[in-house]
Structure 1
Amino acid sequence: MNGRRVWVRLTRSFAPLLLASLLIASCSSVPQTDRIRFGAIGDSITASTDRFGLPTHWTWVATAATGDVTDVGGYRHYGDTTADILRHVTPLPEAQVVVVMAGTNDAPVDDRPDPRTLTNITAIFEKTGVPRRILSAVAPRNDDRAAETLQLNADLRQLARRSGWRWVDPWTEVRTADGRWRPHTSVDGIHPTPASGRIAGDVLRAAIVKTATGG
């Protein structure tokens, strides 16, 4: 009888510890839902493969999707115009934030950016179904469309302001005043080096976090 009483006392004394252990185990098995989930839409600057299907090493997405920020997909394809992207983009129900970087492949109209680019970008955002939106500046270029790219970015910035989206220019550190790449920041005059892609990724990652958290 005495042994049974001792056992009851021990059981009661360890019960709180046992309950605490069970609670800890239960909490550790809960899926982590505090990660920031973003989608990315764009052309070759955003795509992970080139026109031959080989991996690119310049995409900013890899740098943005680090730590507590994760990439949940989106349409990104080498050489696509905004009209091409609009045809292929699909909803991104898992994304909290969506980033669009597009327009550099759209043909100019009378030496100015095609006005349909802005309409297409608005429609692209709508098709994703993601309410928190980031519009990114397009990258510099070293050909005869450098000045046009500067104008396109000015138009995109105004579109973002009118629409209530976050505007981000992740290329300021690698762009010259006339819209070209700074020396040694591009692999071919169009696409960034891996280092330039990481610079853009860091800027966009910060913007994604701010947008997701209401900053």
Structure 2
Amino acid sequence: MRRLLTTALFLGLLAVLSAGVIVEPSSRDTVGTHPMPQAADPSARWRSLRVAIVGDSLSAGRSRFLGNGLDDETWMTYAVGDGIEFVGGWARSGATPDEMANAVRPIADVDVLVILAGTNAVRIGKNVADEAASYEQIVEVIQPEHVMVSSIPPYDAHGSAALTYNEDLHEFTTRKRWSWIDPWDAARDGLGWTQGFSTDGIHPAGPRQYAVLGGSFRKRIIEASRLPRGLDV
């Protein structure tokens, strides 16, 4: 009888102890043999587009050289922010595409490269065939994910030559499978400028006009980043 009682007490105690045991998983426990998924870094999903620009006085600003920083007569001033990060480039007043190609330097991790070049080529009588290798060299140096080549603006002194340059540049851009953009829709009236948009027949008149141009570029940069390469925007 005593032996039965002892056995019963032992079994009861064992049941109580077992009920109170909690097994804690250790760092070495691999349930299902797969690690727990990690939450995605939210900043990675919303990373701004890294945008570089190469050009002439239309991009250089008041100081006539982009290396001095953005100002109120640089279109990029009005395109940057809210998803677009300016990461550098090269622009100088009076520069031709070949001068840009010789001056530009590598920039790391560029999502979009915007090239606005050719007005000064027209000024000195050059055409796209003369400058094609320069556009290629600019792209080769910077090695962006996406290339956007912009039309040049109206040029009162050389209206028909500027039109021909744009037509040839568009064709060249398409062959290279880069994106062609025309941000001058609000500025152009036929071969010339919209009334009041330019005072010298070459450049936007001032900060207000550069702001319009910057907004036009911004829209196209964002659109181009969502499309396959080689499509017009």
TM-score, structure 1 normalization: 0.76
Partner of 1:101: 116
Q: Which amino acid aligns with 1:157?
A: H
Partner of 1:122: 136
Q: Is the 8 A contact 2:90 2:104 kept in 1?
A: yes
Partner of 2:153: 139
SS of corresponding position for 2:114: strand
Q: Deviations over 1:89-132 (max 9, x none)?
A: 111213211000001101568x6725212221122111111131
RMSD: 2.7
SS of corresponding position for 1:150: helix
2: CA distance, partners of 1:154 / 1:90: 28
Change (3 A) 1:54 1:90: closer
Partner of 1:202: 215
Q: Is the 8 A contact 2:173 2:179 kept in 1?
A: yes
Map 1:1-215 → 2, pairs under 5 A: 34-51=47-64, 57-107=72-122, 113=127, 115-143=129-157, 145-178=158-191, 180-193=192-205, 194-214=207-227
Post-superposition offset of 1:136: 0.3
Q: Which amino acid aligns with 2:54?
A: I
SS of corresponding position for 1:205: helix
Change (3 A) 1:112 1:95: closer
Q: Which amino acid aligns with 1:63?
A: Y
2: CA distance, partners of 1:161 / 1:122: 13
SS of corresponding position for 1:37: strand
Post-superposition offset of 1:186: 1.0
Q: Deviations over 1:111-164 (max 9, x none)?
A: 672521222112211111113110001111221x11111111111111111111
Q: Is the 8 A contact 1:107 1:114 kept in 2?
A: no
2: CA distance, partners of 1:118 / 1:208: 22
Change (3 A) 1:45 1:165: same
Of structures 1 and 2, the one with the larger relative CO (CA 8 A, separation 6+) is 1
SS of corresponding position for 2:168: helix
2: CA distance, partners of 1:51 / 1:60: 13
Max Rg structure: 2
Post-superposition offset of 1:214: 3.6
2: CA distance, partners of 1:167 / 1:72: 21
1: CA distance, partners of 2:221 / 2:69: 27
Post-superposition offset of 1:33: 6.1
Q: Is the 8 A contact 1:86 1:124 kept in 2?
A: yes
Q: Is the 8 A contact 2:150 2:183 kept in 1?
A: yes
TM-score, structure 2 normalization: 0.71
Post-superposition offset of 1:59: 2.0
1: CA distance, partners of 2:204 / 2:77: 14
Q: Deviations over 1:157-191 (max 9, x none)?
A: 1111111111100012211212x212210132211
Q: Is the 8 A contact 1:140 1:190 kept in 2?
A: yes
Partner of 2:8: none
**Consecutive unaligned residues in structure 2, runs of 5 or more:** 1-40, 229-233
Aligned residues: 187
Identity of aligned residues (%): 26
